[in-house]
């Protein structure tokens, strides 16, 4: 994670309060709230290690999706109906893609493929008993330096900047307001700031609109309180968050798991951290390779275009993870 290699697993806990203690921790929190915090004894700057064997992914045509195109587009329309009734302003609709692996795999081999074909600022590989996650996330959920925390929500996606619509900017601003509100619940009064709004960032194969929200934590706020105020991340839920979560739960047939959760590291000794939103993220579960993709839905959303956005976000990474991928 972040150019750091952690080995020598000491202990694993589900208690977020441990992150306010001592040591260096790898952290994975499922979208549904399952917490895994793993403390390591040996942490050093290092390149991505060589895998033990080459990656052999699923067949390219073996992937299935929890929502096919007609079901996804129908879900988009249902969210628009909720918006029309005033239930919600924006909601993120996601689908989970799955394919069987041909046998046990070294997750580092997939990480190498992603690093070469889809480099990402918050790439991470976590291999623990019962948990394997390989992420190429471009999005910062929470960074921390002492009492200062920062979030960089992404909303708005296109092949080029010319593809970004007024709808994308409106969606980004709505989520920025949500993140400001979330951080404001645990921040020192008057410390929440937005130093950058709707900046265009280029990533492999697409562009995003990215904003930055920064705050200084109030006295006595620890990791449990910070997660309680901000999780799940606003960019993958919607606004208002409580209403969006209810709608998402009704429309999505499968749990998101690590997708749309948090993946990253916490250095409790230095009071530093970087946690990514678990997007562009693979995980291995019961012999299946899983991957999530989604889009933010507003009143201005066109169902077909939103489906195409989920395809755009997934296509490059699914190709890399599949047999015959580049």
Active-site residue set = 139, 155
* Rounded Cα gap, residues 273 and 294, in angstroms: 26
- Residue in this structure with the two tokens 């449990």, named with its chain if needed: 224
Cβ burial, residue 233 (10 Å; 0-12/13-18/19+): buried
SS3 annotation, 258-317: CCCCEEEEEECCCCEEEEEECCCEEEEECCEEEEEEEEEECCCCCHHHHHHHHHHHHHHH
Q: Which residues pair with 149 in a beta bridge?
A: 144, 215
**168 token code pair:** 């994308």
CB neighbour list of residue 271: distance below 8 Å, 6 or more residues apart: 144, 145, 146, 147
Sign of CA dihedral 131, 137, 142, 146: positive
Whether the ω angle into residue 108 lies within 30 degrees of 0, i.e. cis, is no
Taking the alpha carbons at both ends of the chain, their separation in whole angstroms is 23
How many residues would you count in the chain?
Answer: 326
* Rounded Cα gap, residues 115 and 3, in angstroms: 12
- Residue in this structure with the two tokens 């580049």, named with its chain if needed: 326
* Rounded Cα gap, residues 308 and 134, in angstroms: 24
In angstroms, the Cα distances linking 322 to 100, 131, 244, 279 are 10, 20, 33, 18
Asked whether 122 and 177 are in contact (CB, 8 A), the reply is no
């Amino acid at each position: 994670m972040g150019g750091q290699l952690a080995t020598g697993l000491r202990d694993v806990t589900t208690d977020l309060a441990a992150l306010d203690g001592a040591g260096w921790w790898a952290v994975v929190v499922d979208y549904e709230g399952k917490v895994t915090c793993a403390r390591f004894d040996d942490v050093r700057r290092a390149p991505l290690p060589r895998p033990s064997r080459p990656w052999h992914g699923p067949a390219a045509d073996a992937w299935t999706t929890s929502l096919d195109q007609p079901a996804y587009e129908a879900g988009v329309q249902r969210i628009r109906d909720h918006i029309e009734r005033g239930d919600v302003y924006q909601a993120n609709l996601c689908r989970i893609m799955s394919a069987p692996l041909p046998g046990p795999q070294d997750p580092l081999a997939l990480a190498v493929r992603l690093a070469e074909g889809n480099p990402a600022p918050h790439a991470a590989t976590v291999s623990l008993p019962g948990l394997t996650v390989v992420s190429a996330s471009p999005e910062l959920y929470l960074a921390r330096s002492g009492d200062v925390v920062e979030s960089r929500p992404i909303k708005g996606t296109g092949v080029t900047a010319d593809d970004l619509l007024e709808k994308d900017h409106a969606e980004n601003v709505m989520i920025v307001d949500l993140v400001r509100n979330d951080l404001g619940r645990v921040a020192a009064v008057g410390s929440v700031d937005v130093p950058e709004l709707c900046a265009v960032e280029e990533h492999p194969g697409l562009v995003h609109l990215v904003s930055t929200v920064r705050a200084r934590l109030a006295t006595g706020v620890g990791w449990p309180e910070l997660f309680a105020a901000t999780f799940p991340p606003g960019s993958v839920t919607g606004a208002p968050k409580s209403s969006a979560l209810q709608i998402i739960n009704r429309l999505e047939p499968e749990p998101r798991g690590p997708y749309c959760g948090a993946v990253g590291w916490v250095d409790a000794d230095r009071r530093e951290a970087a946690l990514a939103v678990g997007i562009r993220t693979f995980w291995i579960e019961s012999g299946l390779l899983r991957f999530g993709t989604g889009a933010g839905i507003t009143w201005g959303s066109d169902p077909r275009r939103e489906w195409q956005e989920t395809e755009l976000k997934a296509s490059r990474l699914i190709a890399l993870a599949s047999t015959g991928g580049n």
